Amino acid sequence: MNRFASAAILSVVFVTAAHSQVPAPPALSRDFDGKWSVLIVTDQGTCDRAYRYPLIIEGGNVLYGGKKNFTVSGEVKKGGAVVVSVMLGAQGAQGTGRMQGKYGVGTWAAPSGGCSGRWKAEKRG
């Protein structure tokens, strides 16, 4: 759980669009497409202190770029607002933040594990 909760902030980095009639959800941004390295730091709880993970953004969609069995889903909206959800089995974490240029910052929480913290991302390709 500790390793998962920390990884979950990949939960890097993203805001899932709510279903609403008006106004239409903001379009996804392609400005951040590419490979990213995300540093996840635990500030509260007993999760592992810090980890670095690879993410890929394609067409504004956030994907996990590693070999673990994490399920990562998220989006980067025009303007850089990002929301991501990370699942490993029945455990999960969510993260929100903002991307700007080749960098991103935000926060994450894994309520089931009682952990939370911050993340920062750097574009690698």
User: With respect to CATH, is domain 2-123 assigned 3.20.20.70?
Assistant: no
DSSP for residue 23: S
pLDDT of 51: 87
Instruction: Look at 116 and 24; give whichever has higher pLDDT.
Output: 116
Six-digit token pair at 121?
A: 């991302």
The residues near 125 (Cβ < 8 Å, ≥ 6 apart) are 34, 35
pLDDT tens profile 16-72: 333 334 444 568 889 999 999 999 999 999 888 998 989 999 999 999 998 878 889
Reported as type and span, the H/E element at residue 45 is: none
For the chain, what percent of residues have pLDDT higher than 90? 57
Provide the sign of the torsion angle of the four alpha carbons 63, 73, 104, 60, taken in this order.
positive
pLDDT of 88: 82
Q: Is the model's pLDDT at 5 over the cut of 80?
A: no
Domain boundaries defined on the chain = 2-123
The distance of Cα 109 from the centroid of its chain, to the nearest Å, equals 11
Q: Which residues pair with 19 in a beta bridge?
A: none
Q: Is the model's pLDDT at 14 over the cut of 90?
A: no
pLDDT of 105: 98
Alpha-carbon span 82 to 72, nearest angstrom: 13
